[in-house]
Structures are given as C-alpha cells and as structure tokens.
Structure 1
Amino acid sequence: MRNSTQWSGFFMSVVLSLSLASCGDSKPAGPQAPPPTPVDVYTVMAGNATYYDSYPGTATPLNQVDIKPQVAGNIIGIYFKDGQEVKKGMKLYEIDQQQYKAAVESAIAQLNVARANLAKSQQDADRYEDLAKQDAIAKQTLDHQRADLESAKRQVEAAQANVASVETNLKYSVIYAPFNGTIGISQVKVGTSVYPQTLLNSVSTDDPMAVDIAIDQAEIPKFTHYFSQKAKDSLFTAVLPDGSIYGYPGTLYLLDRSVDPTTGTLKARITFPNPKNELKAGLTTNVRVKHDAGDSSLLIPYKAVIDQLGESFVFVVENGHALQHKVTLGTKIADKIVIRSGLKAGEQVVINGVQKLRDSSAVAIGAPKAPAGSAGK
C-alpha cells in the first residue's frame, strides 16, 4: 500500500509539472486587424468632354418703352387692339384737342398783333431817323423810338415761342408708336382723364429677343472670349419652361458694365431670333452654354462622389489604402461628372464599396475599370 501510494503521488506530480510547463509556454491571443474592404476602382484619365453649363435667365426685350402722355385731357380715341403688332409712327391714342387748338389760335392771334406793332414801330423809327438827319427832332425822341422798336421785336419773338409751345401741346395730344413692336394691354379706356406721366401702355420689340443671365465674376474672361465665337451656332441654346430646346441659337450681345458687389455676379445678355414670337418678355428660361474641353477634362463616375456638409470627396487608392480627397465638381454628364480640381490622371478612385470606407481604410482592389473611350455628350 505504501509503495502504491508513493508511485501515485509521483505520477500526479509529473502530470502537474508538465501541465504547468505547457501553460507557461502559451500566450493570450490579441485583437485581430479587420480584413481589407473589397472595392472596385476607376482609373482617372483625361478625355474629350463636351457638355453644357446652364444658367437661369429671363427673356427681356432689347427695346421697351412705356407710353405716357405729355399733356392732360380725356382720351377720345384708341386705334389699336391689345397685343397687336404696331409699326413705327402708327397712331395709338388721341387726347381731346379742343383746348389745345384754341390755345394755338389764340397764340397765333397774339403773334399777329405783335408783328403789327413791330411794323408800326419800324415805320416810326425809319421816319425819326430821317428827321434826325435833318436835326428836326430831339435825339432823345429818336432814342426812345429805337427802344420801342427793340421792344416790339422781342414781343414778336415771345409770341413766336408761345405759338411753338402750344403747337407742341397740340402735337402731343396724339400719341404714335415709337418703333416697330408689340403693344400690350391698354391701361385706359376711351373717356378716361389722363395727365402727364399716366401709364397708358407699353411697346416692346419682339425679334430678336434677349435673355439675361447672371454669371460669376470668375467667368468674365471666358464670356469675353465668347465674343470671338459669335459664328458658332450651337454655343448658346435656350431651354423653354416645358423642357424643350428653343429652335434658334443665340449670340452673346453684351456684358454689363459692372459687377454686382452683393452677389459677385455680372449680367450677360444673349439675343435669340424670335420670328414666331415664342419668347415672351418675362419668360423664365435656362441658357445652355456649350463647353468643349478637348482632351483636358477629367471625368469620373458620379457614384464615386461623397457629399458632406456642402463639400465633395472621393476615395483614392494608394498603397493598399483608400485616402479621402476633396474635389471640385463641374458639370454632370449622364452618369459621370467633370472634376475641376482635386484629382490627377492615372489615379484610381473607388466606385463600389464607398459606403464602407473611412479615410486610410485598407482595401482589396478588384479589376480596375478605365474609361471606354471619350466622354459622352
């Protein structure tokens, strides 16, 4: 019994020693790094891109005039239909002329009286001149007659000016179209009493029609260059409110003289032929400006772009990691978008798996995707 117990204790000691030795050699397992995120990438390449920059605009006549009377009176005649096309010199409105005709007749009568007085003064002056040569009258009498003659002349001039004034008022009692165009809806009816500066109507030109847009001050050199491209038919096109493309191309007419300091924008005016009168004054439209970048544009799939707090980013793969790059976007073309800054040709941007990434995430790249030819229009 004693020997059996000794051998049993010895055996347990050996087992315990081996167990402790085995535990001493093992180390606790640490946290494992997450596997790389699988992604698809797109190789950035410079390409030929043709696209349109769009600017909201408002149609406006090149020439528009408010019709207002220069004299007071009652409207006795309206000689057009609302919305009618009018020709320069066409009679539009007539104001009661009775008082102005009477004023003209009275002024002419006063002029005739002044002329008669002038004739009498001239005769007296001539007679006194002859008597003075004979020393038959006093010099003072001759001087007084000369003064009366000058006064009579001035009275004639004043009467002539008065006739011209009342004749002008008579002429203003009839209002004519100032140029060819379209007249609007009359603001007065026959019998209405009007005064100077009462708005009667408006006349505007129709063909061509202008569309005004606001451009950023940074675009002024580009638009200045467009003046040399007036012959390019497709440079400026208009999109109507129903989404259709207006059938006639436009031409850059002018750039305003100054930049609006509150918005940093400059007004540009584009003119369009308007033979069918489709462009109406005040019509809201969009002007498309064709941009042909040749072989200098960088385009990437739009799904690669991440928008955060008003800024745009993409993930660029470098040395097995996805690095976040801030980019400046241009115009969207189908499923792609122009990159103005932030990327270089040859870089690889993530297009699938973007949502799983953070800056500097490890990635595993699938087969890189490159552009299949030039960018679409």
Structure 2
Amino acid sequence: MSDTAPYYEDDRPRRKPWLAYALVVLGLVAVALIGKWFAGAGAQKNARSGRPAAAVSAVPVGLGDMPVEVNAIGTVTPIDSAAVRSQLSGTVFAILFKEGQQVREGQVIAQIDPRPYRLSLSQAEGTLAKDMAQLNSAKLDLKRYETLASQDSVARQTLDTQRATVGQLEGTVAADRASVGTARLNLQYTAVKAPFSGRIGLRQVSVGAFVTPSDTAGIATVTRTDPIDVAFTVPQGQLNAIAAKGSGLPVIAYDQDGKSELAKGTFSTFDNQIDTTTGTIKAKARFANPAAVKALFPNQFVNVKMLVDTLHQVPVVPVSALRHGAPGDFVFVVQPDNKVKLTVVKVGPSDGRNTAILGGLNKGQLVVAEGADGLDDGSSVRLAGGKGGPDGPGGAENKGKRKAAQ
C-alpha cells in the first residue's frame, strides 16, 4: 500500500466567496455611475454640480420691418424673337446689316434680285391695260345698243349679250388688278425688312446664295431686347399672397452669383396653371433693357428677388439664434437666474441676417445668439466677459442688457 493519501475532488482549494461578491458590487456601482452620467435631460442634466456655466453671446429681441420676398432662379426671355426669312425665291444681291447690331422696325437687312419680279409686274400691268381697253370698248358698244334698243332698232338679245360681255370684262379687269397688286407686293418682298426693332444675330446666308421661303435658318434672327422678360417659378403656397397684390410688384434681377444687381423691373403675370410635378407656377417680370446698358441677355440665367410685402414692427432675432430640432424651430431665452429656457417659435421671413418671429417671443427678451451648441433647457450660462449668476460680475451685465432692451 502507498503511504500517499488518495486525492478527492472535495479536497481542491476553493475560491473565496467574498471576492465574487465584491466584483458584483463593483459592477453594479459602475453601471449606476454610468447611468447617472447619461440619465436625465434638460434642466436635470445641466443641474449636475461641477459643470461650469457656458459662455454665450446674447442679444435682446427687437422690433423691426421685415420684407417678405420671393427668391427664385429665372431665365431672361425676349418678348419677340423671329428668324427672318425671304418670302419669295431669289438670289441674294446684298446683305445690309452688321452682325449683332440694333435694327429698326422696317429696316432693310437684305436685298433679293428684284429683276424677275419687276418684269412680272410689267407683264401684269400690260395685261391690265389690254383688258381695260377691251372693257372700255365694250362699255361704248353697250351704250350704243341701249340707245338703239330705246328706238326699238336692235334685238333685245343683242343688248343682253353686250351687257354680259361688259360684266365678264369687268371681272377680268378686277383679276388683272389683283395680279398687278401681287406682282408689286412680290417686288417689295425683294427687300427683306426687320419685322420689329431689336438686336440682329449672325447672318445665315451670303451674297449670291439662292434663298427660298422654306429655308429653316432664314437670313438672320432678330430679337427684341428692350423691354425684356424674365421667367421664373413661384411656389403655389405664395400664389394667393402675390395675386392679392396684383401686377406691378418690384422685382430685381441679380447675376448668376446673386451679388451684382443687373436690372429692376415689375411683376407682370402668372401662367394659367400650376405644374403638378413641382407644385410651382410660372411667372414673368418685365424689365427695361436699353441698348446702351444691355444688362440682360436673352436666355441668360439670373437670380430673381421679388418684394411681395413688408411686415412692420415684428420681433426679429439674428439668424444664428435660431435652432432646429425635434420640437421644431426654437431659441434659447436667457432667464433672470442666468439659465436658458428652450422656447419654440414660429419663424417668419428672413433677409439673410435677421429673421422675423411670428410667435413665441416678445420684445426685450434676451436670446442666445452665439455659443448655443451643447445647451439644453435649463443650462446655466454666462455672457461673454462675465460669470453667471445674478449677483456675480456677469449678473450685473446681464441685468443691464435686459434693462436696456426693455
């Protein structure tokens, strides 16, 4: 037999139970601390001891006039634009314009070979003269027959036949006069004229080219540039407000960057239906565009700003004071105890720097304009340059701003 005692499972060293209990307790404490760190929001979160007051810049709510404007991207659209074509076939004798120049209504811009049409006019005039002579002769014969008929010296049928002959010749003469008018009109068409005043584009034909009325490009394109329209779209939600004001609302056209003012005009009219795919309606504004200025060019893209109305003496705050979140649009209002209150507001129009507040704020209230990142409802704040608290160095400054705002 071996002197060594047998080894049993129960004889192995056991862990101390208090160590496991300690680990469990420490884990619970850690969870509690983490939960306490993340738990709570708003005032409870910011009421934790040891968190310093946030430095912010605040401004009082003031009253001011705020314009209600429509901003859109527009396209410069000429009132009239036409490709000038020859109204008859012929050879171009002369081009009487310079590309890009301003032309007057009725100004001759090209000359078609007029000789064939002069000959046609002469032929039509000769036919008219011949038929007029026959008509005059027939009228004299009719007069003689009427005299003889009154003396019962000619048959009644002869008189009726002569009257019919005179009527036929009168019809022939009328047709001849129309032919003369057509030939004369064709001769006038050999001088191709501008249909209206405007700027002429690049020429599409050269001297010696044979042109016809079916040429799609024509001789050149004339575009009316003064006055000129700008077409843009307006959201259907603003349709009623603009329609209530009627035409004549002031409109300003800016360049593509929206910085330089190009021209001032007035609102003209809306289209007759709303585009269901975009929920907008087309509108037009008219601008004076004298040739000496040439601020607007056809098919140019511009930024349009139309003044619809002006809100008088409404609460206004800087754009930087507005916040956006789950509650909607809101601002942080500084309270007398130097804590902020989250206040939901109804936002109105903006001019890029300030925004009108249509509900939720009153004149004199102090709102946080800068430094609002990280603030919650109930956060302690101090104005830049002072400490928080009504009795601290910053407290007197806060009171002075609120008093001045009132």
TM-score, length of structure 1 as denominator length = 0.73
1:158 to 145, 166, 175: 175
1:36 is paired with a residue whose SS is: helix
Q: How many residue pairs get matched? A: 334
2:210 to 158, 179, 193: 193
Query: Using the alignment, how far apart are the partners of 1:237 and 1:119 within structure 2?
Result: 70
TM-score, length of structure 2 as denominator length = 0.68
* Alignment correspondent of 1:246: 261
1:306 aligns with 2:321: no
Counterpart contact for 1:78–1:92, Cα < 8 Å: yes
Judged with a 3 Å threshold, the aligned counterparts in structure 2 of structure 1 residues 307 and 237 are, in CA distance, closer, same or farther, namely farther
Query: Using the alignment, how far apart are the partners of 1:128 and 1:293 within structure 2?
Result: 92
Q: Deviations over 1:188-244 (max 9, x none)?
A: 222222222532222233344433332234245336637566xxxxx5332223655
The one-letter code of the counterpart of 2:86 is: P
Shift of 1:253: 5.2
Counterpart contact for 1:55–1:213, Cα < 8 Å: yes
Query: Using the alignment, how far apart are the partners of 2:343 and 2:91 within structure 1?
Result: 76
* Alignment correspondent of 2:241: 221
Query: Using the alignment, how far apart are the partners of 2:404 and 2:124 within structure 1?
Result: 85
Judged with a 3 Å threshold, the aligned counterparts in structure 2 of structure 1 residues 82 and 372 are, in CA distance, closer, same or farther, namely farther
* Alignment correspondent of 2:395: none
Moved more, 135-144 or 29-38: 29-38
Query: Using the alignment, how far apart are the partners of 2:323 and 2:184 within structure 1?
Result: 74
- State the identity %: 24
Structure 2: give runs of 5+ residues left out of the alignment.
1-28, 47-52, 384-397
Counterpart contact for 2:67–2:349, Cα < 8 Å: no
Judged with a 3 Å threshold, the aligned counterparts in structure 2 of structure 1 residues 247 and 196 are, in CA distance, closer, same or farther, namely closer
Query: Using the alignment, how far apart are the partners of 1:373 and 1:305 within structure 2?
Result: 25
* Alignment correspondent of 1:270: 286
Judged with a 3 Å threshold, the aligned counterparts in structure 2 of structure 1 residues 237 and 269 are, in CA distance, closer, same or farther, namely closer
1:258 aligns with 2:272: yes
The equivalences for 1:36-185 within 5 A come to 36-37=45-46, 46-49=63-66, 53-185=70-202
The equivalences for 1:208-357 within 5 A come to 208-217=227-236, 218-222=238-242, 225=245, 227=247, 235-241=250-256, 243-246=258-261, 248=263, 250-252=264-266, 254-256=268-270, 258-262=272-276, 263-274=279-290, 275-290=292-307, 292-296=310-314, 298-302=316-320, 304-306=322-324, 313-314=329-330, 325=344, 330-331=349-350, 333-334=352-353, 336-339=354-357, 343-345=360-362, 356=374
Query: Using the alignment, how far apart are the partners of 1:73 and 1:326 within structure 2?
Result: 74
Query: Using the alignment, how far apart are the partners of 2:102 and 2:126 within structure 1?
Result: 42
Query: Using the alignment, how far apart are the partners of 2:402 and 2:293 within structure 1?
Result: 44
Query: Using the alignment, how far apart are the partners of 2:330 and 2:255 within structure 1?
Result: 35
Q: Deviations over 1:133-167 (max 9, x none)?
A: 12122111111111111111111001101111121
Relative contact order, higher structure (CA 8 A, sep 6+): 1
